[in-house]
Structure 1
């Protein structure tokens, strides 16, 4: 099942209401948001699932790059050569994921007039003084979409934000979807975003630090814990180049590069690097070494020692085994390059600890005692 939240800034306006402190907070936050440079952060998402009557279980962990560019959120895998305007569902094809928790909610509240506010007075947040305001945004102006599989609906939302009474910085935004259509099959959708001052270059900016997302269905509750780190200035115009040491080394440009086509049906023996399945995340870059010359009959296509670059696209942790999928994209060697499209075949040695599932995933039993080190595997080209 696929769950997706898509909040957008609405274009129509409603009159705002507030107290003496609220106009100052909105003025301060408007200044803060408009001064922010285009920036990007590493986003780590721990996804869990809890069935009725059971304990919550961590499904997997995702790692992506997320950027705010001219008020719009953009996503890419870490180490991507370019950061383009990908659709979120093109990157994360299963499970619950959403945008808006990086930057959009704050912009809806403070850079438009669609929210109606109510002062709830002084309170505490994390043991520190805070001022709480409730807000409501109607469905007609929210731009807040919920999607389950192929069904989607526009909904309104309400919630609260908490501000520092001295600095006027917001510290948390809480959002609750309302009037969710029954055909979506959702009973609740809630999001909270915590903010803090983070340095980008020589200045400190108010940025999201972490977020928690919950979507509840009749039989299961899905939760995402999102953390933002390593924030830096976005310097590209329409794309962003990343300095990923793993992929950069694997694809370093040479003066003359021969492009080689690898036909389908060839077997590649690849040695995986040290891989800690308890710490790794979907989106992590993988660099494997070709352990024998790759030939098509007598023709040498790529020499032993060539580097296969790719990333983890699935890593599910079950009670007795791991389900792992790696997508290799490039094979590089001095003076040569080839595009890769591979399917996992089998481990290069007889073992009951590693096998192949019907869907092509690598199945690794918990008895293998990860982290894995130097595992040899056979892969078939498509």
Structure 2
């Protein structure tokens, strides 16, 4: 027999006491000394068993531990135990909690007291210590480490508890302060089926009620609405037990009281006779919302299946008005399906009614299921009300977007389909077209222009978990409330190789590199796949599951929306990690034009990335259009956007445009695999340039102006010799005015502090034959400042020691033509 400690919890629900209270600041030092004092002698015999953090339906993590104390250690009545908990968030100060409970005396010699302790952590890593002390100053202790981390769609939810924070566990069902920012739903109605999760029970259990009010609070926090109507009903008793026209946190206790007082074991025949039949009640509640003069934007039914077998009127679908109200049935389910629930099965009248009304039933067995459901509903419920007032954030200068980069449009909220198109057949047709295109696309190439913007936190690197950083990033546009550090531009040729991957070269270089993209562009955030690979991979994985999410609009265009996910085990998505690459899982969405059967947009989001990548997450959005090549239509991206969330709060956003797509088979200059020419095959002039002795001075006048916002690394530049190149004997090797061709290797704007603009270039040919040149760097004079100790200077970036570097003031718009630079010859 066990002697359990039962206390009155200071919460709405009457449950065994296990929540602890935070220790007041003035008592923290005294409690800290208890933990720092050596264990007592004799010690208190006890067993402390911690449990892993679990996410509840309020989307808070709970850490619970069990303490068991043999009662044989106590003589007589009047004893008590105090449980202290010290929780140390990584990189933060300790937080203390405590509670004291009286021991109930029992005559059983083998009895023991069992207590539960609990607290709420935000996301992050922690060390926890528990110290149990009795009234005789005996103690027992335990410690453990844990990490609270959200997964999948849970990461898209508004954080309820701040990262690295500790709160008391309060079971009151009231939504915490703050709601998700952004546009709100104008009108929302939630119908709660107040019934036990296990249908054979005659009253709602505390867990049933807590789950309901927690789920309700989470829905209202993640799907904020200007007005919310909440109605709770019970089909067995045939009446409405609670109704609030303007539901808010004040009503939470009233809802809990109404559900607690519901007694399903007693049926008053007279009252039941005067009440509407169960189907009449259910249908009346639903139709009252749908047929209202101003119907809600969404109708959500929340609760378990009904054990009643009810007939759905045949004409119920015809009674639904044309107004588009999104209907969802969040069907609460037990973690394990028991026979009583299996017997109900598809006979549930609520599910059948929602299906008839073209709504969607979503089973909710876990908090993760609820997070998925909220994510799905969020994309399908229109939001026409103005957002709630938001706190002011530090402004940031707008991103510089060159003229060739269009601004992104956001799709409208998905709704139920209105046309007769078959969503499955449309996706099959698109898959077949994309797969067939994959076999032909290696015959073509496009110019890829990239603008890369880098942002950092104004206060410096953030010591937060990826979950906390991602939550903050999703609530703002890229770069908002951050400090922009730099912008640079790249221009590349991209093609899809026969080996099934994207390959790159500098624009117009004539030969594609077979290595990875980081060998061509070693610095800065770069992602692969936007040209063709991401689209092909979305359809080439046979195990990929697709979900039709309804209709949406983009720039006035009616579209079908689908979602999908690919696990790490099935994925081919590669992310740079140190000197290698790692595979990551990802999820995504597709927007299709049902009239034309064309893909409009593909969006892909990685799962949380490993620490060695230096990045928490990468998202890519691609907008598509049809391009005619060789007389055939190809589905190719017009513009792509990649966003990288760093592990210190830094962010990078790449905006990519595709242009000049062409068939390169007819162009003799395009080359994948041609061998290099031997010296005997080279023209005489080429041999003369490559055989130049090293160290000959070369003075070059730049002929091509480099304009910031238009020029990009990879662009060709032209120059000419300002003076002839002479050999050691003074003989002219190349006369003054001889043309040189080169390439921009970096075009960058840096912002305060240290604001400046930089152009980096190299020279590649003279008179159309290769030449190797090194920049002439000014050697310091014997008594110059650079020879003094403590003088700072800047080294060239890795890989740029052979390039010319031109630094301009921040206000400069152009590196003008006519600029002279000094070089000397070097061996290739």
- TM-score tier by shorter-chain length is 0.7 to 0.9
2:53 is aligned to none
Question: Which one of 699, 702, 713 corresponds to residue 282 of structure 1?
Answer: 713
TM-score by length of 2: 0.39
Q: Is the 8 A contact 1:151 1:184 kept in 2?
A: no
1:331 is aligned to 766
CA spacing shift, 1:280–1:270, aligned 2, 3 Å: same
1:203-352 matches, cutoff 5 A:
203-217=632-646, 218-235=648-665, 240-241=670-671, 257=685, 259-260=687-688, 261-278=691-708, 279-298=710-729, 299-319=731-751, 320-332=755-767, 337=769, 339-345=771-777
1:15 is aligned to none
1:4 is aligned to none
1:69 is aligned to 497
Moved more, 226-235 or 107-116: 107-116
SS at match of 1:99: coil
Higher RCO (Cα < 8 Å, 6 or more apart): 1
Moved more, 181-190 or 286-295: 181-190
Cα drift, residue 114 of structure 1: 3.7
Q: Is the 8 A contact 2:577 2:612 kept in 1?
A: no
Structure 1 CA distance for aligned equivalents of residues 686 and 431 of structure 2: 57
Structure 1 CA distance for aligned equivalents of residues 699 and 614 of structure 2: 46
Q: Is the 8 A contact 2:641 2:655 kept in 1?
A: yes
Q: Is the 8 A contact 1:114 1:142 kept in 2?
A: no
1:169-184 matches, cutoff 5 A:
169-184=598-613
Cα drift, residue 332 of structure 1: 1.7
Structure 2 CA distance for aligned equivalents of residues 48 and 185 of structure 1: 17
Q: Is the 8 A contact 2:578 2:612 kept in 1?
A: no
The answer to whether structure 1 residue 45 and structure 2 residue 473 are counterparts is no
2:806 is aligned to 362
Q: Is the 8 A contact 1:197 1:206 kept in 2?
A: yes
1:150 is aligned to 579
Unaligned residue ranges in structure 2 (runs of 5+): 1-422, 459-481, 673-680, 779-792
Select the structure that is richer in helix: 2
Cα drift, residue 236 of structure 1: 7.4
Q: Is the 8 A contact 2:749 2:810 kept in 1?
A: no
Cα deviation, 1:235-262, whole Å, max 9, x if unaligned, reads 17998259xxxxxxxxxx9985352222
Cα deviation, 1:73-106, whole Å, max 9, x if unaligned, reads 1100122132342431221110011211100111
C-alpha RMSD over aligned residues: 2.8
Q: Is the 8 A contact 1:43 1:229 kept in 2?
A: yes
CA spacing shift, 1:156–1:294, aligned 2, 3 Å: same
CA spacing shift, 1:343–1:145, aligned 2, 3 Å: same
Q: Is the 8 A contact 1:174 1:191 kept in 2?
A: yes
CA spacing shift, 1:239–1:74, aligned 2, 3 Å: farther
Q: Is the 8 A contact 1:83 1:239 kept in 2?
A: no
Cα drift, residue 199 of structure 1: 2.1
Select the structure that is richer in strand: 1
1:350 is aligned to none
Unaligned residue ranges in structure 1 (runs of 5+): 1-17, 243-252, 347-355
